Amino acid sequence: MGVPEGDADLAAALRRLTELALIWPYADGFAAAHLSAVWPHPLNLGPGAAELLVAWNMNELRRLAKVYGVPVTGRGKDELIVALVGWLARPENVRRLVAQAPADVPARLAALALRPAQPFDVRGIMFGPAGVALPWAAERGLVVGSAWGVDGMPREVALALREGYVAAFDPQPPIVPTTPVEPKDAEREAAAAASETLAAITAIVGTMSGGLVPLLKTGGLGVRELRRIAKSSGQDEDRTRLTIELLAAGGLTEASDTGLAPSVAYDEFAATVRHRHLAGSPPARSARSRNSDQALP
């Protein structure tokens, strides 16, 4: 990022990210791989070497280790991949290896390292016959084939080959744009959300009241049961999952060795809603009166 290792702004940024649990200290650095689901191409980079090498068999990994001079003895596949990734993560190793390449290869690899990642054109990927034109690099793990029939450049290699590259670093957090909202609008949206939540609670408890909901041995609710409840209650899976969590957090369900069911507290909740429900919201039905179709006041 072009700042000294002891930069105060950098230290403050890392500290704040750690406080927010977006990153956390791990080994001699920070763990952040969990962010890949929401930020798949940081700095326009493709997948890491570990993700690409996991598809290789042990013979291929041993051959690559021999090229890198990485010891193999006593290492299983996972340990060997960690060692190979560690070797690639040192830019001087990558640059020294590329310096030994045939005349046209370094320039092609440098161009590949600068290609931005796209959703269907992953960072550092060459499609079709173009990828086959770099067998020297492929044999040395500088590009790695994938199940999609393309060659991807590990992000460690791309960073090493981006000569003079510096990532943008602004220690000041961005200003979040806001829009003024009238209190009456907020109240209307809140009432609508409460109504939708109450309707979901009523529908899902009605479904659960048909009998105990089986739980997994680990105590959680299985995907099959979740989908069954969602289908029977007419809710989508996300709404069903959230509603069941809300019911559990509010003590409106009780779990036992035999399964999950509405608790006695739900009946009290339903009775309260009958007298105090929001205007226009559907009434909550008692788990013990599930067979009654009479509308509640």
What pLDDT score was predicted for residue 134? 82
pLDDT one digit per residue (tens) for the chain, 297 residues: 889 989 999 999 999 999 999 999 988 889 888 888 888 888 889 888 998 899 899 999 999 999 999 999 999 999 999 999 999 999 999 999 999 999 889 999 999 998 887 544 444 444 444 444 588 999 999 998 655 555 679 999 999 999 888 898 998 888 999 999 999 999 999 999 999 999 999 999 999 888 889 998 877 888 999 999 999 999 999 999 999 999 999 999 998 888 999 999 998 898 888 766 544 444 444 444 443 333 322
Considering the domain architecture, whether residues 102 and 133 belong to the same structural domain is answered as yes
7 part of a folded domain: no
Q: How many CA atoms lie within 13 A of 73 on its CB side?
A: 0
187 part of a folded domain: yes
Considering the domain architecture, whether residues 49 and 156 belong to the same structural domain is answered as yes
235 part of a folded domain: yes
Spell 161-183 as b/e; 16+ CB within 10 A means b: bbeeeeeeeeeeeeeeeeeeeee
Distance of CA 75 to the CA centre of its chain: 29
What pLDDT score was predicted for residue 276? 67
Considering the domain architecture, whether residues 155 and 222 belong to the same structural domain is answered as no
**Total structural domains in the chain?**
2
255 part of a folded domain: yes
Q: Which two tokens stand for residue 255?
A: 């779990």
29 part of a folded domain: no
Considering the domain architecture, whether residues 190 and 112 belong to the same structural domain is answered as no
**CATH number of domain containing 249:** 1.10.10
pTM: 0.56
- Return the closest-CA partner of residue 105 out of 94, 116, 118: 94
The DSSP code sequence of the chain is --S-TT-HHHHHHHHHHHHTTSSEEETTEEE-GGGGGT-SSGGG----HHHHHTTS-HHHHHHHHHHHT---TT--HHHHHHHHHHHHTSHHHHHHHHTTS-TTHHHHHHHHHTPPPBTTB-TTEE-THHHHT-HHHHHTTSSEE-TTS-EE--HHHHHHHSTT------SSPPPPP-----HHHHHHHHHHHHHHHHHHHHHHHHHHTTSPBP--TTSSPPHHHHHHHHHHHT--HHHHHHHHHHHHHTT-EEEETTEEEE-HHHHHHHHHHHHHPPTTPPPPPPGGGTT--PPP-
What pLDDT score was predicted for residue 151? 64
Considering the domain architecture, whether residues 246 and 142 belong to the same structural domain is answered as no
13 part of a folded domain: no
Domain housing 256: 183-289
Considering the domain architecture, whether residues 142 and 79 belong to the same structural domain is answered as yes
What pLDDT score was predicted for residue 124? 43
Considering the domain architecture, whether residues 192 and 142 belong to the same structural domain is answered as no
Considering the domain architecture, whether residues 187 and 155 belong to the same structural domain is answered as no
Q: Which two tokens stand for residue 228?
A: 């069954």
In whole angstroms, give the CA distance from residue 290 to residue 209: 7
Given a contact cutoff of 8 angstroms between Cβ atoms, the answer to whether 260 and 212 are in contact is: yes
Considering the domain architecture, whether residues 270 and 209 belong to the same structural domain is answered as yes
Given a contact cutoff of 8 angstroms between Cβ atoms, the answer to whether 145 and 151 are in contact is: yes
Considering the domain architecture, whether residues 187 and 282 belong to the same structural domain is answered as yes
Considering the domain architecture, whether residues 64 and 139 belong to the same structural domain is answered as yes
236 part of a folded domain: yes
Amino acid letter, residue 69: G
Spell 126-157 as b/e; 16+ CB within 10 A means b: beeeebeebebbeebbbbbebeeebbbbbbbb
Considering the domain architecture, whether residues 198 and 101 belong to the same structural domain is answered as no
In whole angstroms, give the CA distance from residue 240 to residue 242: 5
167 part of a folded domain: no
The DSSP code sequence of 222-243 is PHHHHHHHHHHHT--HHHHHHH
